[in-house]
Amino acid sequence: MSNKPPRIPTEELIVIRNKIYVMSPIVRRWVRGKGFSVQELLSVGLDIEYAKKIRLPIDKRRKSVHKQNVDLLREILEKYPMPVETQRIPSPPQKIVKVASEAVAVGSRPDVKEELSDEEISSIADQVVDFLDRAKRRGIRKTLEVFVDAIRKYAPLLLRRWSEEKMESIVSLILKDLSSAGFGSLSTKFFTKKADWDASMAREIILERLKRVLKE
């Protein structure tokens, strides 16, 4: 008698679904996905039929492969390993997209590269995330002050390029991105984190927005 594969509990499936992210081709930002793409499953050697049996969400229409989703699948396979007879040889996808890299992979402006390094951009994002992470509710005005302070500290050259109105607009876009990704709610004065706030993913969303603004 063959052993049936374990079925992932509903509570755990909800957590998994909330961790699947894709780059929306319409709004060009990271949003929650409907499921893993077939290529993401194949990239870790996961049999599609087995994935269905353990109740993994699959989006057959999506063709993209994102690193964070592949890493999540590897974690799931450690907990729900496939039987030896159904294991596949991992199929390396043609392109794995890392969080926040897809939107800026093409057409980078050389002058921006000279002015701002990846380390400097990351430092700005880190300071904003650290500020938002310390409390459930944050004032938009105070978030702007933290953002400006981070630029003054890590990229003072940008103070000559960006007006106060421009920086206020960037902060507004960052908070809207986080809100659209489901990490918080935004009012006219405050940004309020939701229960599933993920500081690591929030950092990547902020990085993506900063890189997109720097291309303008």
Residue 45 has pLDDT above 70, yes or no: yes
| pLDDT number for residue 84 | 59
Residue 105 has pLDDT above 60, yes or no: no
Domain boundary among the residues 63, 81, 98 is at: 98
Cα–Cα distance for residue pair 192/183, rounded to 1 Å: 9
Within 10 Å of residue 137's Cβ, how many Cβ atoms? 13
| pLDDT number for residue 183 | 92
| pLDDT number for residue 2 | 52
Cα–Cα distance for residue pair 111/156, rounded to 1 Å: 15
Identify whether 3 is part of a domain. Answer: no
Identify whether 40 is part of a domain. Answer: yes
Identify whether 68 is part of a domain. Answer: yes
70 and 37: one domain?
A: yes
**Whole domain around residue 161: which residue ranges?**
104-215
Residue type, 171: V
DSSP state of 99: T
Residue 120 has pLDDT above 60, yes or no: yes
Domain boundary among the residues 66, 98, 130 is at: 98
- State the CATH number of the domain containing residue 167: 1.10.10
Domain boundary among the residues 98, 126, 155 is at: 98
Identify whether 158 is part of a domain. Answer: yes
Residue 86 has pLDDT above 70, yes or no: no
23 and 123: one domain?
A: no
113 and 160: one domain?
A: yes
91 and 130: one domain?
A: no
Count of domains forming the chain: 2
| pLDDT number for residue 190 | 94
pLDDT in tens, 130-182: 999 998 999 999 999 999 989 888 888 787 788 888 999 999 999 999 999 99
The answer to whether the beta carbons of residues 62 and 22 sit under 8 Å apart is yes
Residue 23 has pLDDT above 90, yes or no: no
79 and 114: one domain?
A: no
pTM of the model: 0.51
| pLDDT number for residue 184 | 92
Choice among 23-32, 68-77, 162-171 with the minimum mean pLDDT: 23-32
| pLDDT number for residue 63 | 87
